[in-house]
Amino acid sequence: MSNAQKHWEKSRSLLFITLIIWAVFSMGIFLFGAEMNEVTGPFGYPWTYWFTCQGSLGIFVILIFWFANRQEKIDEEFGFTERGDD
């Protein structure tokens, strides 16, 4: 297997892991929304509101930085880095 194929395999597996995490936090929370509506969170809003509006956005931002960091490590491992020798 060539170096480019190994790089693609690792990049593809990282992509699938990222998509699974995204799906859980974007759609999975709604599956338990009815049970969470009974519990109130900050300022009297139900937990469903806080998880979907605040928590999901925070997780998505963290997920973006995590993905970029892991992809950069994969790129460096196989010699496809975009960083210059400053």
**pLDDT, tens digit (0-9, with 9 covering 90-100), for 48-73:** 777 777 778 888 999 999 999 999 99
**pLDDT, tens digit (0-9, with 9 covering 90-100), for 22-40:** 988 888 777 766 666 776 7
Decide if 38 is inside a domain: yes
Cα dihedral sign for 23, 27, 31, 34?
positive
Decide if 72 is inside a domain: yes
**Residue span of the structural domain in which 55 resides:** 8-78
Decide if 86 is inside a domain: no
Q: How far apart are CA 49 and CA 33, in angstroms?
A: 9
Decide if 54 is inside a domain: yes
Number of domains in the chain: 1
Q: Which pTM was predicted?
A: 0.76
Decide if 59 is inside a domain: yes
Decide if 17 is inside a domain: yes
Identity of residue 83: R
